[in-house]
Amino acid sequence: MNHNSTSPQLLTSVATAGAFPQELNTLNHALLTPTALALRLQTTLEIEKLLDLFSQTVGYAIPHDGLTFSHQDSGLHLSQGRISRHSCSYRLSLENESLGELRFLRGRKFREAELSLLEEFLAVLAYPIRNALWYRRALLAAQTDVLTGLSNRLAMETLVNKELAQFRRGGPSTALVVIDLDHFKRINDEYGHLTGDLVLRTVAQALQKATRKSDSLFRYGGEEFVVLIPNTDAEQAQLAAERFCQAVRDCEVILEDGTQLALSASVGVALCELQDSCIDLFQRADAAMYAAKTAGRNQARMASYTGDFVAKAHPDTTTVSQRECGADLSSGAAKALDQRA
């Protein structure tokens, strides 16, 4: 059964209708009026929590097994509860703005009286769900790097803290990889900042292709990128670091005059520890990255648990793994940048 969404006019009529029938408006021993429902829905701007709160609230009047919500413009698809045989769906809109489609599921058919009441509830939901979508849009904008389209430092810190909290509760280990382009300042100085921007976008696309679906890629700032790798160990993290290093080396940046820039990156890796904060984990990976630069660039290094960085000379004393990433960058038609500068 498909139903059009509620409108502001319907919201007005509901607001003047008074309390719902007595047998339908019990919730924690309080009357579920439109005003009471609206007040409950105003307690959160997070779309997932809002839908969960709405489902729990109206579930006393209209029992259901689950619901789904999709908003195509934002690529948002959420589901709660379980899939059941029967469903009713509503395309929500407000002031000509599409708010997505909400579908309710349960094992038996919905009665007409239930559907009528559900539409009244949805009228109350219209403004809160629009506010939640606006909030999500603003939050995503605040956590997105404009130049590359990647998530930014704020998004990274938020996700790293979540992963660390899960790890402290007994979850799988997480690795943080810091990737810093070699000699990027020289690219800006010699070819201009527009070329530098082109390099950053090209590298961002290459790193996206080199990451797994479960990995998260961020632009930390300047020429520095970060990859968060969940559910991994030291060996897998090092292999991933080498893959990112190779992805940068394989980038093709050809200027209008035919000059092809050869790129490389220094990469540092750190595995999370129980006492780590986001800053601790990043600093260890960042220090490993600088150790890679000191050792000659164009390589990946892994931080030890002590934070010491020693060149790999003897297997029994190694605290850092070092692997070269590729061949001489000055070969072929590429214009390599001096690695010693």
Q: Tell me which residues are annotated as active site.
A: 223
Answer positive or negative: Cα dihedral of 196, 198, 203, 208: positive
- For residue 270, give Cα distances in angstroms to 102, 294, 312: 42, 17, 17
Q: Which residues contact 143 (CB under 8 A, 6 or more apart)?
A: 151, 152, 154, 155, 158
Interatomic CA distance for residues 104 and 110, integer angstroms: 9
Encoded tokens for 129: 């769900």
Residue 207 parent element (H or E): helix 193-210
Which residue reads 């940046």 in tokens?
253
DSSP string over 90-154 = EEEEETTEEEEEEEEEESSPPPHHHHHHHHHHHHHHHHHHHHHHHHHHHHHHHTB-TTT-SB-HH
Encoded tokens for 338: 């001096």
Which residues does residue 224 pair with via DSSP β-bridges, in sequence order? 180, 221
Do 17 and 126 contact (CB within 8 A), yes or no? Answer: no
